[in-house]
Amino acid sequence: MKLLITTRADAACTEWAELMYPIFTRYAQKVKADFTILDEVFNCPEAAGGIGNGVYQYRIMKQYDLHEQYDRILHLDSDMLLSPNCPNLFDVVPYDKIGTIFEDKGTRRPQRLQCIMNSQHQFGDIGWREGYINTGVFVTSKCHKDIYKKINGKYFTDWGTDDIHIGYLINKLKYEIEELPFQFNHMTMYSEDWNNNPDRFDSHIIHYAGRGVFDPGEAPNKIEQARLDYKRWYK
């Protein structure tokens, strides 16, 4: 079985690449997967929102073609730190399921549910009411490749970009999801009161998405937060 780990990158990711890609490379070697960077400009100017007006996020759609060569693909966002003992996600997620966390929880739930409804205003109601995925840590198999297609020749053009676009297709095509514990994609939202403020260093993967600063008194921004956390695990 051919395995691949991917990550998205552009010129804005230089600092993240220097810090994280050696870790991704070692992890890929450990799980016997290839590693590639999705750094080609993706031609979807109509996709609004986020870095590069949606172009950056939609580079994950390249995985439709990559699944011609690879049986399974794990996507990791560039702004995340893997623990030295991170489990093999290809073992955690069954072949016939898609591995992801759900982000419509806690303080984020109302806004994420609204995004789900917005997708159905654009593409049609499919009965999707909850289960906002996050493609930051995302496992798919060749049988799931159709989630990386346009919908009616278009991309989702509102907040949420690829998370919502791909989530819509997962639900429309009725693929099963293996919901990962938040410890595989620990964002700041999971260190809030509603989740009992767990220690991120007890997780497998720390994700510096959004504001990305866990310790405002120590780190002025998320890349500096990541550097501090890196020293905790790797120095």
Q: Where do the domains of the chain lie? A: 3-234
pLDDT of residue 43: 64
CATH superfamily of 3-234: Spore Coat Polysaccharide Biosynthesis Protein SpsA; Chain A (3.90.550.10)
What pLDDT, on the 0 to 100 scale, is given for residue 51? 45
Q: Is 122 exposed, middle or buried (0-12, 13-18, 19+ CB in 10 A)?
A: middle
Q: Print pLDDT tens along the chain (235 aa).
A: 999 999 998 878 899 999 999 999 999 999 999 999 998 766 666 665 444 445 778 899 999 999 999 999 999 999 999 999 999 999 999 999 999 999 999 999 999 999 999 999 999 999 999 999 999 999 999 999 999 999 998 888 788 889 999 999 999 999 999 999 999 999 999 999 999 999 999 999 999 999 999 999 999 999 999 999 999 999 8
| Bridge partners, residue 151, by sequence | 154
Taking the C-alpha atoms of residue 103 and residue 187, their distance in angstroms, rounded to an integer, is 10
pTM metric for this prediction: 0.95
Please choose, from the candidates 232, 97, 119, 106, the residue with its C-alpha nearest in 3D space to the C-alpha of residue 175.
Answer: 97
Residue 215 to residue 104: CA distance in whole angstroms:
23
Q: From residue 63, give the alpha-carbon distance in Å to each of 7, 69, 106, 157.
A: 11, 10, 31, 20
pLDDT of amino acid 52: 46
